[in-house]
Every structure is written in structure tokens, then in C-alpha cells.
């Protein structure tokens, strides 16, 4: 499963990238706001750090304007993925931009039928938001499962990008289901390495090692 980082924090992206943990990046208008930076400037910087797909989201709501914004964003770098909302206008823009050979990530997906439409419109990625479904006491991971089944039934090439990941359990669940990609905030990716038994075991080993009085170096 590919790991995308869901942030516009360039330092956090660079740190994880140095560890080989970054296959791509996703941003959205809220993350741009959080960064306090200009969208073009920060997106260009991210594309200079990461060689994989970097999603930059349009903010227009009408197809022609989305297409124009998408083309402008795509000029930033070769690895830009134009992020479009799952509306009919977004799907129309997806078809046009995909036909032009641009990568498109269709976002704000909350149903398997929406994911089916995005695949038919030629999306490179579909982003089902599992955390926001869980927030409503619905099962976000069940949606990933349904989309996996539908895409496999018909051999769609669109990659399932599990988004709105809030916990390490989400990461494990979507990996078990077979999502192609997951995007998570840097904090969640860092937490994946943590286990209390690892810390406890390490503490014991350190204490026993000290008693040996030995040194390796
Ligand atoms: C995905 O591309 C979105 O940027 C993101 O995962 C949304 O997550 P949130 O629901 O935690 O805001």
C-alpha cells in the first residue's frame, strides 16, 4: 500500500520523505489555510521534495472554471494530481483533464456509486473519506471494501486512496482490505511505529545490558 501524507507542512513531508515513507502528498483548501502559505508557492515546494503524485485541489464549482484551475495547477510540476470534488461538474472536469493526460484525484467520496462514476470518468484516484463517515457512526472501512469489490469486478484502473484517516486502526484496516493508497496526517504515520510492548521490552533490555557492564563501541 502506498503512503501519501495529508498535509501542506513541508518540513513534516521532508522528514517522512527522508525515511522513505512518502509515496505522494494530498492537500486541500483547509490544509492550505493551516499552512498559512500561498497555494502555488507551497505546492511547488512540495513537488520539489516528493517525486510521487501531489494532489492540489481546485476551488471552482463549475466545470469550465474547474478545468481552467486544474490546468493552471498542473503547470506547477509534472507530478501534480488535480483534485476535484465528486459532483457532476467535478466529474465533467475529471473526464476532460484525464483525457488530456493529467492525473486526477476525485475527492469527497462518500458512496460506492460515487466511486463507480469517478472510475468511469477516468479518475486516477478516488478518495473515500472514512473518518468523516465514522464521525457519523457509519462504517468508513465498509465503503473501502465495497469500492474494492466493484473496481475488481470490472477491472477499473482507478486507485483507491483511503482518505480522512484518523487512527492507526484505520491504516491497518484499509491495508487489510486492499486500498491501493492511504493518506494520513504526519502524526498518524508517526504513531504507526509505536507499541507499548516495544517500549517495555526495550526498557528491560537496556536495564539488563547495563548490568553486563559491556560496550559494543
Ligand atoms: C484527503 O485528501 C483529505 O485531504 C483528507 O484526508 C481529509 O481528512 P479529514 O476528514 O481529517 O479532514
Domains identified in the chain, total number:
1
The pLDDT tens digits of the residues spanning 29-72 come to 999 999 999 999 999 999 999 999 999 999 999 999 999 999 99
**39 in a domain, yes or no?**
yes
The answer as to whether 217 is a domain residue is no
- Asked whether this complex has an ipTM greater than 0.90, the answer is yes
Residue 91 lies in a domain: yes
6 within some domain: yes
Grid coordinates belonging to 116: 463507480
211 Cα–ligand 1 center, Å: 49
Element (H, E) at 77: none
Compute the distance between CA of residue 39 and CA of residue 83 in angstroms, rounded to an integer.
13
Q: Is 83 a catalytic residue?
A: yes
How big is the chain, counted in residues? 217
- pLDDT tens digits, one per residue of 63-120: 999 999 999 999 999 999 999 999 999 999 999 999 999 999 999 999 999 999 999 9
**pTM, 2 dp:** 0.96
Domain that holds residue 134: 2-212
To test ligand 1's pocket by mutation, which of 159, 164, 170, 187 has the most ligand atoms within 8 angstroms of CB?
Answer: 164
Confirm whether 99 is domain-assigned.
yes
Q: Which of 34, 44, 83, 191 is catalytic?
A: 83
Q: Is the residue at 81 inside a domain?
A: yes
Identify whether 85 is part of a domain.
yes
**Backbone Cα Rg of the chain:** 20
Q: Record the cell numbers describing residue 172, joined without a space.
A: 491497518
**CATH code (residue 188):** 3.20.20.70
In a domain, 73, yes or no: yes
Amino acid at each position: 500500500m502506498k503512503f501519501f501524507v495529508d498535509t501542506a507542512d513541508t518540513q513534516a513531508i521532508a522528514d517522512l520523505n527522508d525515511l522513505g515513507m512518502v509515496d505522494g502528498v494530498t492537500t486541500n483548501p483547509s490544509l492550505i489555510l493551516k499552512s498559512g502559505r500561498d497555494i502555488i508557492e507551497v505546492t511547488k515546494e512540495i513537488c520539489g521534495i516528493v517525486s510521487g503524485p501531489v494532489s492540489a485541489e481546485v476551488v471552482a464549482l463549475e466545470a469550465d472554471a474547474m478545468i481552467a484551475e486544474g490546468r493552471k495547477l498542473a503547470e506547477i510540476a509534472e507530478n501534480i494530481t488535480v483534485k476535484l470534488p465528486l459532483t457532476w461538474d467535478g466529474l465533467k472536469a475529471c473526464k476532460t483533464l484525464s483525457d488530456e493526460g493529467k492525473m486526477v484525484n476525485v475527492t469527497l467520496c462518500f458512496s460506492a456509486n460515487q466511486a463507480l462514476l469517478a472510475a468511469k470518468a477516468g479518475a486516477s484516484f478516488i478518495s473515500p473519506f472514512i473518518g468523516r463517515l465514522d464521525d457519523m457512526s457509519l462504517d468508513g472501512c465498509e465503503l473501502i471494501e465495497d469500492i474494492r469489490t466493484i473496481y475488481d469486478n470490472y477491472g477499473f484502473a482507478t486507485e483507491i486512496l483511503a482518505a480522512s484517516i484518523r487512527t492507526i486502526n484505520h491504516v491497518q484496516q484499509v491495508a487489510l482490505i486492499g486500498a491501493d493508497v492511504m493518506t494520513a496526517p504526519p502524526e498518524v504515520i508517526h504513531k504507526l511505529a509505536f507499541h507499548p510492548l516495544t517500549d517495555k521490552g526495550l526498557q528491560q533490555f537496556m536495564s539488563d545490558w547495563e548490568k553486563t557492564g559491556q560496550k559494543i563501541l
